[in-house]
Structure 1
Amino acid sequence: MIQRLLIAIVAIILLSPMTSAFAAKVTDGDIHKGDFRWFQFNLMQSIDNKIPFQNQQDTYFEMEFGGRSGIIDLYGYLDIFDIFNSPNSDRHGDTSNPNAQDDNFFFKFSPRFSLDYMTRSDLSLGPVQELYIATLFNVGDRALFEEYIGLGSDIQVPWLGKLGANLMARHVRENYGANDEGSWNGYILSTNWFKPFVEFQNQSFITWQGYLDYKFGADKIADDVDRTSWSLEWFNGFYWHSKQYAVGYGLKYYQNMALFKSGGIAGETSGFGHYLDLTYKF
C-alpha cells in the first residue's frame, strides 16, 4: 500500500503541466510582497484514533496558525488534551497502566526557509514552484522531542492546486526511552493540501484538506519487538468554511502510529480514526 501511494504521488507530479514561476515570486526586491498570516482555535473530538496506549477518545483544544513573512513559510499547532477534564476521556489519566503516556499537550512547529528568496533566484522547474530548507519539530510535554531537517517544495498539481511536499531527516532528542534517543534515525516524507471544491454565493465553501506523513528508515529501533522502522498517517478532512467559522469531519488512516507496532505494548496503532472539528478564525 505504501509503495502504491508513493508511486501515485510521483506520477501526479510528473504528469503535472509545466508552469512558469509562481505568481508571488519577488522580482523587484520586496520579499514581503506576498506576506500573509492566519490563526484559529479548533475544538476537536477524536473517535477511535490510533494514538499509542489506547489514547483513542478525547475532546481537545487546538491553537493552529500559519503564514508567510519574507523568506519564512510557517505552519504549526498546539494541542491541549482533555480540555474539559472529563473522566470519559482516554487522556484523563490511567494510573492502572504503567505504560500509558498521559501527555497534556502536543506541539508541532514547521518553519520552512525559501531558497528562492534567499538566493533572489527563480528555482522553479516545471510543476515545482518554490524550494525550501524544510524543518519540523514534534514536542510532547513528557518525553518526546523530534527534530527534522531537509528539502521542501511547493508543487502545482492538476485540480488539487498547490501541494506542499517535504523530505527530511529525523533527529531524536527524546522518544519515550527508545534506543534511538540522541541520534539521527530515519526520514519523513510529508505532504499537505487544501482544495476548495464547492463554492456558495455567500462566499462560504467546502474543502478537501489533509496531509500524508510517511516515516521510514528508523532502523535503530527496529530490533525492539514493540517498535517498527516505518509508520504512516494519512488525514482526509472535509470542511465547510465561512469567513469566521469552519465545521469539519476528518477520516485518518494509521499504520504503526508513532513507530509503535500495532498490537504490541502500545495497543492498536493501525486502522482508521475519526475527527470532528469546530473552528473559530481570527
Structure 2
Amino acid sequence: MRNFTNKNEARRFKADVNSFGTVIIHRRNPYIVACWSMAFPGFGHLLLEKYVQGLLLVLWEVFVNQQTHLNRAMVYSFTGEIESAKAVLDVRLLFLYIPVYLFSIWDSYRTTVDLNKIAVLVEREDGPFNTFSINATGINYLEKRNPLVTFLWVLTIPSMGQLYLHRIVLAFFSLTWAVVFIYYSHLLEGIHYLILGNVEKSTSVLDAQWLSYIPSYYFFTIYEAYTNTVEYNKLFEKEQKNYLKSHYQSPNFTLKKGQKVT
C-alpha cells in the first residue's frame, strides 16, 4: 500500500481515515439522496459527508419549523382539522422555509451526480487512501464490520450505529438531536403510560410538534449507518486486495483471455 498524507500527492483520493471517522467517495443513487432531503432538509447532505451544509440545513429546518408550528399544522391537516391547522400556523417565516427546502433537495441531487462522476474517475485511477490514523484525539482504522450488528445497535438509540462505525461527528449530532426530540416530545413518558395501559394519558402527554421529527430522523440514522457499514467493508476488501497484489503477486502475472480471478 502506498504511503502518503492527504495533501496534493494524488489528483483524487478514494477515502480518508482520520480520528473523527472515515470518509469515502462512492456512487450513490441521487434520487434516494434527494428523497432524504425531502424527508428532512440536511439529511441528503449528511449522507454525502457534507457535514457543515447538512448541519446548517437541519438547524434551519428545526428553527423555522418550531417558529411556524408547521409540524402541528400538518398533524391537524392530516386528521381533517383544517381550521385548527390554519389557526396554529404562523406564516411570518413560512415563505422563507419553502426556498431553502427546495434548495436542499436540488443541491443534494446535483452534488450526488457530481460525486458519482468523481467516484467513477477514482475507481479508474485507483485513487489511494490510508487505512490507519492515530493522534492525540484518538485511533481509527479500517476493519470489517457486520451490517446486521450495526442495524441492531442503531435500532436501540440513534447514534449507536454511528459510534460503532467510529463516525464521531455524526454520532455526536445524532445523539444530541435524539435527546432533544425525545425529551421535548415526551415520547418515553408516553410509552411509560402506554405500558401501564393508560392510553388516554399516553396520548395527551405527547407533543405532536416535536414528535413529528422522530420518524424521519430515526429511520435516517438506520439507513445511514447500515449503508456505510456496507461501504466500509468494500473499502476494507479493496485495501486488502491492493496489499496482496502489491506485496505477493508476481509482476509477470497476467490473465489469459477469458480467465477470471476467483
Common fold: TM-score over 0.5: no
Q: TM-score range with shorter-chain normalisation?
A: under 0.3
Question: Relative contact order: is structure 1 or structure 2 higher (C-alpha 8 Å, sep ≥ 6)?
Answer: 2
TM score, norm. by length of structure 2: 0.26
TM score, norm. by length of structure 1: 0.25
